[in-house]
């Protein structure tokens, strides 16, 4: 995994030894963890995600980090999911070892209007949907599906990453007292702390696809309250108002994913994938 085009929040972090690994280059630093290019004793390259040292004794942070590692280990082996190698703790610090791929996340590519997107647009949309379908069929919800968590290689290959917020897929909708995530990509039932299920991920996929196809979010807002108000006010503008080249069938798929009521959305990602393949002739 290569986030080399993202500016780390902690540029003072120094390369060096970490157990049997050598941390070569800090490529991203988020709220919970750093991601390094690391090599083992044989010189093989990996992406190593390491919990911030000041969170080592936070039970909440450790639990969330380790849960994401465990879930990734259970859904591994799929071409559109970042490759899992191992996880554990070194010097009391949890870490996750993953495959290293040269890629940029989808948010960066969208921000600079990278030609890679235009060349691979249909395939990126379908492959992202297939990644989410695999996760659901493996028994989990992602709950943080957004462009930042989709890596795209220079050949247009997709990898879904970051499973810290993932949860087992329930048989019936559930409620959670705390609902972490990114408001712009969260379904209205999540923002209102009401019952939700895997159809919340389908809504998030719809937001990502809408933004990728039009260059704007379907429900704009600077705050959670503004975003929720937009979601509850009415349906978003038709995608073809912003991009007349979008096939009408694709527009209808995305808008169905974005329905306010979960029962009006697609019931399963497998149906989304089927309709996308039909609409895009893939």
Catalytically active residues are 144
Residues 199 and 227 sit within 8 Å (Cβ to Cβ): no
Alpha carbon distances (Å) from 37 to 1, 95, 184: 8, 13, 30
State the Cα–Cα distance between residues 5 and 72, nearest whole angstrom.
24
CA nearest 49: which of 76, 82, 79? Answer: 82
SS3 145: coil
Spatial distance between the Cα atoms of 147 and 276, rounded to a whole number of angstroms: 18
Count the helix, strand and coil residues of the chain and give each as a percent rounded to the nearest 5. Answer: 40, 20, 40
Consecutive H or E run containing 94: strand 93-98
93-98 vs 84-90, strand pairing mode:
antiparallel
């Amino acid at each position: 995994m290569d986030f080399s085009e993202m500016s780390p929040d902690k540029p003072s972090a120094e390369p060096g030894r970490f157990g049997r690994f050598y941390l070569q280059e800090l490529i991203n630093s988020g709220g919970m963890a750093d991601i390094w290019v690391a090599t083992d004793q044989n010189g093989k390259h990996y992406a190593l995600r390491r919990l911030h040292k000041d969170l080592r004794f936070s039970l909440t942070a450790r639990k969330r980090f380790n849960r994401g590692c465990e879930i990734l280990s259970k859904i591994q082996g799929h071409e559109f999911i970042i490759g899992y190698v191992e996880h554990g703790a070194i010097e009391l610090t949890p870490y996750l070892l993953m495959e290293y791929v040269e890629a940029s996340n989808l948010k960066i590519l969208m921000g600079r209007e990278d030609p890679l997107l235009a060349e691979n647009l249909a395939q990126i949309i379908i492959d992202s949907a297939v990644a989410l379908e695999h996760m659901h069929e493996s028994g989990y919800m992602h709950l943080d599906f957004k462009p930042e968590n989709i890596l795209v290689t220079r050949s247009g290959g997709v990898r879904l990453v970051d499973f810290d917020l993932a949860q087992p897929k329930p048989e019936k909708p559930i409620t959670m007292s705390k609902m972490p995530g990114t408001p712009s990509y969260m379904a209205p039932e999540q923002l209102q702390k009401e019952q939700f299920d895997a159809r919340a991920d389908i809504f998030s996929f719809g937001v990502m696809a809408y933004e990728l196809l039009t260059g704007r979010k379907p429900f704009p807002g600077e705050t959670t309250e503004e975003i929720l108000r937009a979601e509850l006010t009415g349906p978003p503008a038709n995608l073809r108002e912003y991009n007349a080249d979008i096939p009408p069938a694709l527009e209808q798929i995305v808008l169905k994913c974005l329905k306010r009521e979960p029962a009006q959305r697609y019931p399963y990602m497998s149906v989304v994938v089927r309709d996308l393949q039909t609409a895009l002739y893939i």
